[in-house]
Amino acid sequence: MEITLRRHIHLEHDGKLLLLYVDGTGPAIPRTGRTTWEGGEFLIRLPTPIEAADLGLTWTEKRRNNFRLGNDEHEIIIALPNISWPENWAWKDAVISDSAVDPVARESVYRTLHRVVSKVIIQNSKNEILLAKVRRGFFTGCWTLPGGFVDYSEHPRTGATREAKEELGLNITIADPKSECGEEIPGVDGALIQQAIFGENGLNWLSFTYHTMMDIDATQIIPKDDEIEKVEWYSLEAALEVAVSAFDIEAIRRVMENEDQ
């Protein structure tokens, strides 16, 4: 079966996205909650680079995302238009609520949303940190810092505390000197915020890593059986060797740098 490569441009500025109607006119505005319409074709789509240029637009390219839908391969140019705020463009958030919008546009918006994860470095008085060998997910069979996805309406610090409890049964306390989650908890939280896109699919990851201290024997930790295979304390140097997540590696390096100061 022959696969066709289709090229589109995702021009976004301050939450506004350029969309066209199928005949190439626009800007097109999605209709929230639309599920039926006349005809069998989608009504709204992303422009091609040529169409955007014909509208007199120039842009600064950020990256290119590639994915496949059906029998077509799609290349999406993610770019910032060189204009002031585009008042008449569509709100990005409205794209997914209109079924008449081409799935390519909706998929492009989906891939530009942040996936937020939260981790915690648990360090003991021996200067070791706790790592967990996971049974499922992106890093199955690998050693990672305790943590996972941040829930809806949840602060990343709260997410890190919750994940430590769910995965390892540990009740940890992370400093909250600015009362971001409610009551002030004195101390240094070691917060490290990182962002990265891994691979050509364009999924955008935002990672928060915190730091806390705890002394407990690894044999006393009862991990969640269907998620964590085992846990162990590692020296900073050994942890850096076995860690596989780029976010974890950088967080461990930061701890090592602080130890050297």
Contact partners, residue 176, CB within 8 Å, separation at least 6: 157, 182, 183, 184, 185, 189
Could you give the CA distance from residue 118 to residue 22 in angstroms, rounded to a whole number? 41
Task: Identify the residue with better confidence: 5 or 205.
Answer: 205
pLDDT (tens digit, 9 = 90+) per residue, 109-151? Answer: 999 999 999 999 999 999 999 999 998 878 899 999 999 999 9
pLDDT, position 126: 95
Taking Cα atoms as reference points, which of 62, 12, 75 lies closest to residue 201? 75
Taking Cα atoms as reference points, which of 151, 147, 117 lies closest to residue 131? 147
> pLDDT-derived band of residue 2, with 50, 70 and 90 as boundaries?
low
For the chain, which domains are there?
4-112 (3.90.79), 114-260 (3.90.79.10)
pLDDT, position 60: 98
> pLDDT-derived band of residue 1, with 50, 70 and 90 as boundaries?
low
Mean pLDDT of the chain: 94
Q: Stretch 148-158: mean pLDDT, rounded?
A: 96
Q: Stretch 232-243: mean pLDDT, rounded?
A: 96
Q: Stretch 46-51: mean pLDDT, rounded?
A: 97
Q: Stretch 220-231: mean pLDDT, rounded?
A: 90
pLDDT, position 207: 97
